Amino acid sequence: MNPCFQRLSPLAGPPRRLESGQFVYHQGDRVEALHLLRWGTVKIARLSPDGHETTVSHLGDGECFGEVELLIDAPERGCFAQATSDIVVTSIPVGLLGAEQRALLQGVALARLYEAQLCLADMLAQPPALRVASLLRYLAAHGSTIRLSFEEIGMTTDCPRELVSRAVRRLALSGALTLKRGVIEVLDPRLLDSSRHAPQAPSASTSPNLAER
């Protein structure tokens, strides 16, 4: 669990239970609280004016979220937060967050930005088939259990669902993860290293890998 989460928990109100698909807050809502995710998974995403959805991040147990708008004193939410599994969440009203708590949140926001930049750089430099492994490796750093559908993974990596399905099942065969009822359990993060799964260029004596077509 994030040390920042533990230090902020005493300020939080009673827990709320939300079902998968429900919103913690919507884009455009007033910024009134910081949220602590006690259990489950949440995505932070943004809708463009034409209705296109872009996922910004995925969060798991023991993470705080909604801190960015709070830190920059934005009046409204620039993104929405939606449960991607059943969740338990608590909230801290903005008025209870003093200078010490804001300093903690600045550290969280900077670390999260740095990790996101590295993940994005990895994915941009890779063909679609390898972006899935990069995303799973990033998420596994925050917890071995990943409760995301193939559609959610595809939306984040800009890959079609069929490609995500093939990539995840190939990683399962390698021993990197198991897949049960839509829950991905990472067994060995080292096997998510995309270089281990990069398709090999065919030599003169070998045939192209038809499974990748």
19 and 77 co-located in one domain: yes
Select from 154, 166, 144, 78 the least CA-distant residue to 123: 154
* pTM exceeding the 0.85 threshold for the entire prediction: no
Residue 134 belongs to domain with CATH number: 1.10.10.10
30 and 110 co-located in one domain: yes
Question: Which helix (H) or strand (E) segment is 57 a member of?
Answer: strand 53-59
44 and 110 co-located in one domain: yes
pLDDT for the residue numbered 128: 77
pLDDT of 157-201, one tens digit each? Answer: 888 889 999 999 999 999 999 988 778 888 888 888 754 444 433
| Residue at a domain's end among 118, 149, 178 | 118
Report d(CA 74, CA 113) in Å as an integer: 18
pLDDT of 17-55, one tens digit each? Answer: 999 999 999 999 999 999 999 999 898 988 888 888 878
Give the domain range for residue 143.
127-200
62 and 85 co-located in one domain: yes
**In-domain check, residue 213:** no
Q: Compute the CA torsion angle 23, 25, 29, 35 (nearest 10 deg).
A: 180
| Residue at a domain's end among 98, 118, 138 | 118
93 and 14 co-located in one domain: yes
Per-residue pLDDT band at 4 (split at 50, 70, 90): confident
